[in-house]
Each structure stands twice: as C-alpha cells, then as structure tokens.
Amino acid sequence: MSERPELSEAEAFAAEHALGLLTSAERRQAETRMARDAVFAGLVEAWRNRLDSLIDAIMPITPSHGVWAGIEQTLPVNDNAADSRGLRFWRAATVGSLTLAAASLTAAVFLANQPPVIIHPVPVGQLLNASLISPSGAPVPLFVAAYDPVRKALIVTSLVQPGKDPAHVHELWVIPADGKPRPLGFIEPGKTKTMPMPEALRNSLALGSAIAVTVEPPGGSPKIDAPSGPVAAVGKLVKI
Amino acid sequence: MAAATTPEDLAHLMARVAAGERAALRQLYDATCAKLFGVCLRILSDREESEDVLQEVYVTIWRRADRFDVSRASVMTWISTIARNRAIDRLRARGPLAYADQVEDLEIPDGSVSAEALLVTAGEVGRLHDCLGALDDRTQTAIRTAFFDGVTYEALGHRMGVPLGTVKSWVRRGLAKLKGCLSQ
C-alpha cells in the first residue's frame, strides 16, 4: 500500500486555516500571508473548496426577525465607495431608497427611529444602472453595469462563466443618443471591474444610453471606434 | 423559508450587492440566512451571540461584495467562509481552549436530523464523504469536529483525550490522504 506523501508545510498550514484549527495568532498570520502570497492564498481557497460540501451537512436554522433590522441599521456604503464623502451621502440616499435612506451616520441614527422615508438631497449626480441581456437569448442578465458619476467610474460585473471561449474577449461599449458606439474597455468573464471613465466619455454615460458587450478578437475590435463582432448583451442605463 | 435559489441566482444577487443595491442584499439574506445561522450556531452554541455574528457577517458581505470572484468560489462557499471565520474569531475570543457544547445539547426543533445523519444521507456530499469515510474513525472525528465546531488542536486534543501533537499528526496525515483521494 502506498502512503500518500505528506502535505508541504505551507499546504498543511493552509488546510488547517481552511478547516478552522488555528489559534488567534496563527489565524492572523495566515490572513496576512494570504494577502501577501497569492500561492498560499490559492492553497487556502483550494482547501475551502474541497471542504465546501461539508457545509451541506449543517442544518439551516432560522434566526430571529430582529437580525435583519440590525443589519439594515448598520449598513455602510460598500467599501469601494468609502473614499468619497460626497458619494457616501448621495449614494446611501438613492441606492437605499427602497428601504431606509441614510444620508450620513447621524442621519441614520435619526432615521432609525422614523418610518421609512426617501430623502431627496440636492442631486449631485445619479447612479445609473444597466442590466445587459442577450438580444436573442433568454432574458437573463449576462452583465450588470452601474455608472457612478461621483466617482466617474463604471462598475461592471460579468456573469458569464469563465473559460467558455478563451479565443475571444468581451468589449464594452456605450451607445449614447447619437447612436455612435464608443469603446469603454474589456471585461473578463466572471469578474467585477471598476473602470474610471475619462472626461470625453462621461457625457455619453447618460440616462437612456445603451451599454453593450460585443465578442471580439483578443485586443479588441480591429475597427476604429466600432465593434466588429456580434453583440453578446445590451441594456439601457436607467435610474434605480 | 425562501424558495430554492440556484447558484446562478446567488451569483446574480452578489453582482447587484456589489453595485450597492440594498434590496439585493435583503434577497441574499432571505435565501441564505438560515444556513449561515446554522454555521454560526454550530460553532458558538449560543443563539444571541450567533445572531450578533450573523449580523456582522452580512455587513461584511455588503462591504466586500466587490471582491467576490465567481471564477474562484461559489457564492455559498464564499459567504459560508465569512460566517465560519467570524464565528471562529468570536470563539477564539473566549480563550484558546474554548469550545462550545456539542450541538446535540442544543435545543433543535423536533423532527430535525442531526448533522452527522444528514452527512450520511445527503447525496451531494458524495465524494468528500466517501473520502472522509475511508479514513480511520479517530481521524475522521478529528477533521469533522475541527470543521463543524471550529476548535483548535489544543481543544480537540482535550476533547479526544490525546496530546496536541498526536491529534495534529492524525489531522495532517488525514488531510494528505483526503487530498489524494479527492484528486483521483
């Protein structure tokens, strides 16, 4: 009978972290190492994925109703927006308008005691969202895009399964009212990307403009300022 | 209880959460909170503390949603890792030897099946279960207890009545065998 070789010290440590065996000090060490060492982080992730199905054996138990309320009251804006106070103020008020709007921490405390309200601050911009669906296929979003005029960035998420078509790339376009497509950049399958938008493009990213993704050869469309490949998905920018 | 949510549904929800949509977080919460609460409760065996941790977990998901990468892990793996990590951090704060009472002592609604029984019956556990089953009993117990209860080697040794070094070598050898078995 052949005994399996031992795990390397790094892998054993990675597996122990994934399993949850480490002490507090070792856990901090493992987390720091994951942040610095991509190979080690990959080992931890591989072990998490290996052990993943054990979660199936854990019985779901419904928590009390109060938990959601607690979450809602403490929700900050996403980390990726934390650098802009203007955005923090504004986005919390618009994105959160479906539920409780919180313009600032102070306002959140105040509003926590109020019935749900929608705040309309002086608009400094408007977050625009687009769900991109295939023009011919099922009405399921393949890409989700949000233009943030305060950060002047487009946040795009691809819901396309990676590895399906490695010979091509997905190129993003904006098609404003004049009908002329402008290239925005590329989005890898399965990834989320924050793309800063140069000044020349910002006016094109307006309410009603279409965002489209085309399938292009590596490096993008060989044509100047026009897609060459088929449209994979398209959607209009709308206010949330 | 939320209707069945497919991995694709969850991936789409995560994308909307990453874009800052609170309604999407609510939907994700409805679809997954019972599972993640089960994870926390198994480790902490304390309802109030587990609910506190659960709250932190969803705030963390909200803050880090843009770092979720669908090509590296499923949504369920990613969020349950956050839940386990938060619960384990909380358990460690009780002290290095801390471990919660075993889940069997908890009040669990009548008619529910124990985790171990579920492990045996759940078809999807399949391969990992087979490979774990091929290990000797004490190694299996050590690995499962580590995963479900989030305890340290030291606490595990205490529980099993063996020195830390012994349980460590069981687990490490077991993990090497597990990896070999899973890669076949």
Give the residue from A1, A34, A43, A54 with the most B CB atoms within 10 Å of its CB, the best one to mutate: A54
Distances (CA, A) of A179 to A156, A182, A232, B93: 21, 9, 18, 59
| DSSP-derived secondary structure letter, A198 | P
Label residue A4 left, alpha or beta by phi (over 0 means left) and psi (-120 to 50 means alpha).
beta
> Where residue A4 falls among pLDDT bands split at 50, 70, 90?
low
Its ipTM equals 0.85
**Higher pLDDT among residues A96 and A60, named by residue:** A60
**What string of H, E and C letters represents the secondary structure of A63-121?**
CCCHHHHHHHHHCCCCHHHCCCHHHHHHHHHHHHHHCCCCCCHHHHHHHHCCCCCCCCC
Domain boundaries, chain B: 1-94, 100-184
Chain B contact for A189 (CB, 8 A cutoff): yes
pLDDT in tens, B18-56: 888 889 999 999 999 999 999 999 999 889 999 999 999
Other CB atoms closer than 10 Å to residue B134's CB: what's the count? 13
pLDDT in tens, A175-201: 888 888 888 988 988 888 888 888 888
Is B19–A157 a contact, with Cβ atoms under 8 angstroms apart?
yes
State how far the Cα of B135 lies from the Cα of B155, in Å rounded to an integer: 21
Residue A87 has what pLDDT? Answer: 39
Give the residue from A17, A155, A156, A157 with the most B CB atoms within 10 Å of its CB, the best one to mutate: A157
The residue whose two tokens read 């070598």 is: B169
Asked if pLDDT for residue A93 goes beyond 50, the answer is: no
Is A189–B126 a contact, with Cβ atoms under 8 angstroms apart?
no
Structure-token pair, residue B79: 């969020």
**What CATH architecture does domain A128-239 belong to?**
Sandwich (2.60)
Chain B contact for A28 (CB, 8 A cutoff): no
Is B68–A192 a contact, with Cβ atoms under 8 angstroms apart?
yes
> Where residue A126 falls among pLDDT bands split at 50, 70, 90?
low
Distances (CA, A) of B158 to B60, B72, B161, B170: 33, 36, 5, 14
Other CB atoms closer than 10 Å to residue A215's CB: what's the count? 18
Average the pLDDT over A82-97 and give the result.
Answer: 37
Q: From the CA of A223, how many Å to the nearest CA of chain B?
A: 30
Asked if pLDDT for residue A235 goes beyond 60, the answer is: yes
Residues 121 through 140 of chain B touching chain A, CB cutoff 8 Å: 122, 124-129
Nearest CA in chain B to A56: B125
Is A76–B171 a contact, with Cβ atoms under 8 angstroms apart?
no
Average the pLDDT over A88-104 and give the result.
Answer: 36
Residue A52 has what pLDDT? Answer: 87
Is B72–A22 a contact, with Cβ atoms under 8 angstroms apart?
no
Is B151–A21 a contact, with Cβ atoms under 8 angstroms apart?
yes
Q: From the CA of B108, how many Å to the nearest CA of chain A?
A: 8
Residues 198 through 237 of chain A touching chain B, CB cutoff 8 Å: none
Would you tell me which CATH number, out of the four given (1.10.1740.10, 1.10.10.10, 3.40.50.300, 1.10.3720.10), belongs to the domain B1-94?
Answer: 1.10.1740.10
Assessment of whether the complete model's pTM goes beyond 0.80 = no
Total CB pairs under 8 A between chain A and B:
211
**Higher pLDDT among residues A120 and B159, named by residue:** B159
Q: Which fold has domain B100-184?
A: Arc Repressor Mutant, subunit A (1.10.10)
For each successive 10 residues of chain B (184 residues), what is the average pLDDT?
Answer: 70 89 93 95 91 95 87 90 94 73 40 42 64 92 92 90 94 94 86
CB contacts, 8 Å: B73 with chain A: 45, 48-49
pLDDT in tens, A36-59: 888 999 999 999 999 988 888 888
Sequence-ordered list of residues with C-beta below 8 angstroms from that of B164, at least 6 positions apart, any chain: B153, B154, B157
Domain boundaries, chain A: 9-57, 66-112, 128-239
